[in-house]
Amino acid sequence: MGSNMYIKKSLGLLFLWMLFSSCTQEKEFFHEGDILFQDGDCGDFCDAIRKVTEGYEGMDFSHNGLLMQENGDWFVLEAIGKGVSKTPIEDFLYRHLNEQGNPKVMVGRLKPEFRSMIPAAIQEAEKHLGKPYDYAFDFDNDAFYCSELIHFAFKSANNGRYFFTPKPMTYNDPDTGVLFPVWESYFMELGIPVPEGELGLNPGGMSLEPVLEMIEIQLSSDNIER
C-alpha cells in the first residue's frame, strides 16, 4: 500500500513539473507585440494570395494577428470573418496544422529599437474589437482585414506615420496577367470593382518588413519551444 502511494505521489509531482515546464516555455518564448504569421487553409483564396506574394524565405502566409497578454493569459488580436476579435492563443495556434499535427505559425518580433511602440499599438487594435471584417480590402472604411488591423495599430503608435509599408495590391495571376477566377467571383458577388493597384498589405509581404525579426518555432500540443 505504501509503495502504491509513493508511486501515485511521484507521478503527481512529475505531472505538475511537466505542466509548469510547458507553461514556462510558452511565457518565456512569446512577447507582447509579436505578430503571429499563419499558413492557413482556405482553398483557392489562399492559393491566390500565396501566388502573388512570397513570404519570408519563400514561406507561405495567408493570415496574421497581434499577440497580447491579459491577466496572465495570451490572446491574439485578429481580423477574421466574424470581425475584429480577441482570440485565445490556443485557438489561433491550432486552427491550421501541418502533417505532424503542429501549428503552421512563425513569429515576427519587432526589433528592439521599435518595441516601445507595442503598448500603444495593442491599445489601438483593441479599440477596434467588434468592428466588421473588411471584405472590400478598403483602407477608407471602418472595417479591417488581418494585415490592415496591424498596419493601422502601428501607424497610430508611430504618430500617424507608416510603420509597415502598404504597396499596390494585385488580384491577377502573375503567370497570365488575368484576374484570378476566385477573385472575379468574389468581387462580383460584393458588387464592387476589383481594387487592382490600390494600396494594401498582406501577411507574406509584411513578413519581409525590415522592422521584424522572423523566428521559426516548433509548436506541439504538449509544449511550446524554440
CB 65 within 8 A of CB 76: yes
CA 164/CA 173 separation, integer angstroms: 25
- The mean pLDDT value for 6-33 works out to 50
Q: For the chain, how long is the longest CA-to-CA vector?
A: 77
The cell for 139 is 483602407
Q: What is the pLDDT of residue 54?
A: 80
Q: Among residues 108, 113, 67, which one has the least CA distance to residue 213?
A: 108
Q: Residue 109 pLDDT > 50, yes or no?
A: yes
pTM for the model stands at 0.83
Q: What is the pLDDT of residue 218?
A: 62
The residue among 220 and 181 whose pLDDT is bigger is 181
CB 109 within 8 A of CB 207: no
The cell for 214 is 522572423
**What kind and span of H or E run contains 207?**
none
CA 61/CA 52 separation, integer angstroms: 11
